[in-house]
Amino acid sequence: MKKLLFSLLGFISLGIGVAGIILPIIPGGPFFLFSAYCFGKSSERLEKWFKQTTFL
């Protein structure tokens, strides 16, 4: 249950972080850091995927 919650929070904050790249009002950086933390707590596979993902 705890891993599911962390992965869900990670994907939500990742989506907000991507929106922060597009919208200048929302800062994207803190949301990417929070999603990295959540993915690290949820599973090793998600953490590897997030570290290999590039947005630009």
This prediction has a pTM of 0.75
Res 56 pLDDT > 60:
no
Distance of alpha carbon 55 from alpha carbon 29, whole angstroms: 12
Tokens of 44: 């090793």
**The predicted structure's pLDDT at residue 40:** 84
**The predicted structure's pLDDT at residue 24:** 84
- The burial of 17, by beta-carbon neighbours within 10 Å (0-12 exposed, 13-18 middle, 19 or more buried), is given as buried
Question: pLDDT tens digit string along 3-54?
Answer: 889 889 989 998 999 898 888 888 888 998 898 888 888 888 877 877 787 7
